[in-house]
Every structure is written in C-alpha cells, then in structure tokens.
Amino acid sequence: MREYKECEDMRKRVRIAWKIYDAYIVIGSPHEVNLDTMSRRVTELGMITPHLSTFDVASKRVKNMLENDSYQRFLQWSVYRRICLGDDEESQF
C-alpha cells in the first residue's frame, strides 16, 4: 500500500492499484480480505479512476475489524491459546 501511495507516476499507480484490487478486493481473489458490501462497492467504484484514496475505505474497514473484532476473537480462540501454552497435541484438527 505504501508503494501505491508514494508512487508519483500515474500509469504505474494505476497498475499497482489493479494488482492490489485483484489480489485483495475481488471476491475469490488469492488473498481476499473480509469486506462488507458497501466497502467493497466503494472500492470498486474508485477503480474506475484509481486515485490516492481508492483503498481508504477498505483499509479502514480491515483495520477496524482487526482492532475490534477478528484479532480479539483470535486471541481468545482455544486452539490459539493451547498453541501459546505449548500444548499442540490437543490443537490438532
């Protein structure tokens, strides 16, 4: 994301935007992030003419989920806690 924000060459920035979009935003992409419909749609509309704030909504949404939801639940997940305690035999699926 930093490379995208710092890029001054418009053509290169558009190429970087499409790489980010194809890798993280598109449903079914290799590293798809969990976005709500509105955040995904705003980002899709921003891809019509990629600009510096194209990924801001998606980025804020992911950051918010990590801070307030997913990460906190992950830390409380029994499998994670067993691994942290070194009891990986019980954590086998």
Q: pLDDT tens, position by position, for the chain (93 residues)? A: 788 888 889 999 999 999 999 999 999 998 999 899 999 999 999 999 999 999 999 999 988 887 777 677 777 788 878 888 776 554 454
Q: What does the alpha-carbon distance between residue 36 and residue 48 come to, in Å, rounded to a whole number?
A: 19
Q: What does the alpha-carbon distance between residue 27 and residue 58 come to, in Å, rounded to a whole number?
A: 13
What pLDDT, on a 0 to 100 scale, did the predictor assign at position 67?
A: 79
Total number of domains in the chain: 1
Question: Considering the domain boundaries, does residue 15 fall inside one?
Answer: yes
What pLDDT, on a 0 to 100 scale, did the predictor assign at position 88?
A: 52
Question: For residue 16, what are the domain limits?
Answer: 2-84
Question: Considering the domain boundaries, does residue 92 fall inside one?
Answer: no
Question: Considering the domain boundaries, does residue 48 fall inside one?
Answer: yes
Is the separation of the CB atoms in 75 and 66 below 8 Å? no
Question: Considering the domain boundaries, does residue 91 fall inside one?
Answer: no
